[in-house]
Amino acid sequence: MGNVVHTSESYTIRASDAAPAGRKNAGASAYIVTEMEEHLLSKRLLSLGDIESGTVLFPKSGKDGLDYPLFLISIPKAGTHLLYQLADSLGYRRRVIHNGDPQPGGWYCVEGSNSHTKATDFFIDKTRDSVHGNRLHQFPSSPAIFLYRHPYDILCSEAEYYHKRDASPFWGYLKDLSFDQRVERLVDDRWLLGSLRDRIAGYVAWLDFPNVIPLSFEEIIGPQGDGDDALRRRTIWSLLLKLRLDGDVDQIAGTLFNRDSPTFHRARIGAHKTLLTPAAWEKADSLDHDYMAALGYSATPDGPAFSSRVKEFRERPLDIPISDAQKTPVLIEQDFYGWNLVKFEMHYYAVLVSEGDFDMRKLQKEEAGKYLNATSIGQLKRNILTSICAHPAK
């Protein structure tokens, strides 16, 4: 597997440089893509997902990976620190908390500093509690990666970790139980933690969003975690093509196994096959298996450890819809030291309360520029305070 290189120049595809139509790999060392139309460029790059080696050169479009923020989502104990390392290695800056203003080229959690955001929480609870029904959030118009893992391996990882002092707020609830007892409680706990299905089901809906790239732990852990190096390399290759990033597959693959992760334990594929007792298997089997099927995993002891949906998700196009939500002025905060704070077209503006109500959409660009403004709410507030200090009321 080769690398992906951006270029701002124009090229012509020649038979000696690119695979002829219908052939995924013709021994070419370079694949030069010249399409400029957004849909055709994405389609052409995705068609190169099965090449075995070589370099892809394609024009920058202004809508490439680092021109957007990247959101990271993971099921707890699915390999979250592996996902963080992957995003770092892809070239994104580790920003984590966005405070409503994620910047291009940085990776962030959808909410706060915790990547474990259930889709049900974000689209139901967060929408209910947020300004403008959460429509200002940049998630819908940005790429995201969702990391999932075989639920029974997640279960074993939970049982290996959650009872440790300060590893979780509820560590005391599990600390006096043996590993097998912890597993059985974590499979189906009526009083606090719910069932394994409950804990995972809230994440399943992320699979169906067009701007989300579903990625399994098993694809990226590599040989050190009993994974497959060829599969890991192919997965990284597909990420570079989908996100349109510069990068070298081998170099990125070499960064992904980290024994120094603060939550590292086994990081092995299929550990549940040897760790679960017959009693645990029986209890797990009593749950509805719909969440297993949605993620593509077998619920049987002798079933495959890999998701059956890996190829489907790898070949699925990345679709980042264009949002119109930013074209409507939205009041973010009222009467901040005499100013109303308004967000409009990716900028924040300070409008004196004394000016009353008016529609910013009717202002010419040069008129809007006369108002105190900034690209983040924090910077706008600092600008206001600086202005107050410079011109104190008489």
The H or E element containing residue 41 is helix 38-46
Query: What distance in Å separates the CA atoms of residue 165 and residue 263, rounded to the nearest whole number?
Result: 13
CB atoms within 10 A of CB 165: 8
Order of strands, sheet of 55-59, starting from the edge strand that comes earlier in the sequence: 30-32, 55-59, 3-7, 247-248
Please report the sign of the dihedral spanned by the C-alpha atoms of residue 260, residue 265, residue 266, residue 267: negative
Residue 259 has pLDDT above 60, yes or no: no
Tell me which of 106 and 369 has the higher pLDDT.
106
Token couple for 223: 């040989």
Torsion of CA 96, 99, 100, 106, to 10 degrees: -30
- How much is the pLDDT for 207? 98
Overall average pLDDT of the 132-141 stretch: 74
pLDDT at 230 over 60: yes
CA dist., res. 27 & res. 364, Å (int): 55
Q: State which of 15-24, 209-218, 384-393 shows the largest mean pLDDT.
A: 209-218
User: What is the spatial distance between Cα 124 and Cα 127, in angstroms, rounded to a whole number?
Assistant: 5
Contact 109, 121 (CB under 8 A): no
> Could you tell me whether strands 55-59 and 3-7 are parallel, antiparallel, or unpaired per DSSP bridges?
parallel
CA distances in angstroms from 394 to 294, 339, 384, 385, listed in the order given: 66, 18, 17, 16
> What is the DSSP secondary structure assignment for residue 124, as one 8-state letter?
I
53-93 pLDDT, tens digit per residue, is 778 888 877 788 899 999 999 999 999 999 999 999 999 99
Instruction: Please determine, for residue 358, whether its predicted confidence score (pLDDT) is greater than 80.
Output: no
CATH 3.40.50, the chain: domain bounds? 65-228+254-315
d(CA 221, CA 225): 6
Q: What is the mean pLDDT of residues 10-17?
A: 34
pLDDT score recorded for residue 343: 80
Give the residue from 253, 314, 297 showing the smallest Cα distance to 154.
297
**What CA–CA distance (Å, rounded) separates 270 from 275?**
9
Instruction: Output DSSP code: residue 139.
Output: G
Q: Which residues, listed in sequence order, are joined to residue 31 by a DSSP beta bridge?
A: 56
Return d(Cα 10, Cα 59) in angstroms, integer: 7
The whole-angstrom separation of Cα 139 and Cα 133 is: 13
Q: Is 376 exposed, middle or buried (0-12, 13-18, 19+ CB in 10 A)?
A: middle
Is the domain spanning 65-228+254-315 CATH 1.10.287? The answer is no
The span from the CA of 18 to the CA of 15, in Å, is: 5
pLDDT digits (tens, 9 = 90+) for 171-210: 999 999 999 999 999 999 999 999 999 999 999 999 999 9
